[in-house]
Amino acid sequence: MIIIGELINSTRKAIKKAIDEQDVEYLQDLAVKQEEAGTDYIDVNAGAYVYDETKHLVWLVEKVQEVVKKPLSLDSPNPKALEEAMKIHKGVPMINSISLETDRYNKIAPLLKDSGAQVVALCMSDEGMPESAEDRLEVGKKLIDKLDKDGIDLTNVYLDPLIKPVSVEGKYGPQALDAIEMFKKLESGIHITCGLSNISFGLPNRFLLNQAFIVLAMGRGMDSAIIDPLDKKMMSLVTATNVILDMDPYAMNYLKAARAGKLI
């Protein structure tokens, strides 16, 4: 299971405040904690700064990479911000994200061709967000085909079915799970990810819904998620589910986590 740590996002009040005040210590501590928790990529987002996102994203990349070795997920639809952040990123980053929307695709795809970057691919087109699992599959297949034709290694692609909150419509949970299962059957080498916490938006005790959803989604074939890696119960469930799904041979990672006291 590939974990993308979601916490350094400027839309969160505490992060926006830390960026405004140039509180490097707070941001770096959060990055280190996510890395220590087992994150594979650390997401950095400066989208709250509409008019100077590029400057703030570059600053975040610089400061976070001073203290962590894991690659970053550069979270922006702004091609200029992504381009400048990629210039200073150490190693190969993840781009979060591209979609089938014509303008967005045409501006971000060129950044992927020569960089070898991983990329989150949203199942969204010029027609907007798809509704049913079948609609998501149709958009996802078109997006994969387009990326493939443009020379993007599909093993670098993380297809995202776009999770909608079950507080709005109960069917959004089953639709997302069905879409994940359909994506898995494509056998194109892609990964499947999602912004998992969207499932619980608007409801109390969100952590319970998030924890339940990740187990169900992994069972359908999801192999990545954008989550809070400091949720120890969530990470324990991921570790345990990997064993049940035969994704952890001889339960070696599970045993290692148990010895380290990381399972709760």
Q: What is the CATH number of the domain that holds 144?
A: 3.20.20.20
The total number of structural domains that make up the chain: 2
Whether 224 is covered by a domain: the verdict is: yes
Residues 63 and 110 in one domain: no
Whether 243 is covered by a domain: the verdict is: no
Whether 235 is covered by a domain: the verdict is: no
Strand order through the sheet with 94-99: 191-192, 157-160, 118-122, 94-99, 72-75, 41-45, 2-9, 224-227
Residues 136 and 223 in one domain: yes
pLDDT at 188: 86
Residues 97 and 208 in one domain: yes
Residues 104 and 154 in one domain: yes
Residues 123 and 187 in one domain: yes
Residues 106 and 37 in one domain: no
What tens-digit pLDDT sequence spans the chain (264 residues)? 999 999 999 999 999 999 999 999 999 999 999 999 999 999 999 999 999 999 999 999 999 999 999 999 999 999 999 999 999 999 999 999 999 999 999 999 999 988 999 999 999 999 999 999 999 999 999 999 999 999 999 999 999 999 999 999 999 999 999 999 999 999 889 999 999 999 999 999 999 999 999 999 999 999 999 999 999 999 999 999 999 999 999 999 999 999 999 999
Whether 240 is covered by a domain: the verdict is: no
Whether 66 is covered by a domain: the verdict is: yes
Structural domain boundaries, residue 177? 92-230
Give the distance from CA 39 to its chain's centroid.
11
pLDDT at 187: 80
Whether 236 is covered by a domain: the verdict is: no
Residues 104 and 220 in one domain: yes
Domain boundary among 45, 79, 113: 79
Residues 213 and 96 in one domain: yes
Residues 43 and 104 in one domain: no
pTM of the model: 0.96
Rounded distance between C-alpha atoms, residue 259 and residue 242, angstroms: 17
Whether 71 is covered by a domain: the verdict is: yes
Rounded distance between C-alpha atoms, residue 253 and residue 129, angstroms: 37
Residues 17 and 141 in one domain: no
Residues 103 and 202 in one domain: yes
User: Which residues are CB-contacts of 158 (< 8 A; sequence separation ≥ 6)?
Assistant: 2, 94, 118, 119, 120, 121, 190, 191, 192, 193, 224
Question: 134-162: string of b/e by CB count within 10 Å (b at 16+)?
Answer: ebbbebbbebbeebeeeebebebbbbbbb
Residues 222 and 174 in one domain: yes
Whether 114 is covered by a domain: the verdict is: yes
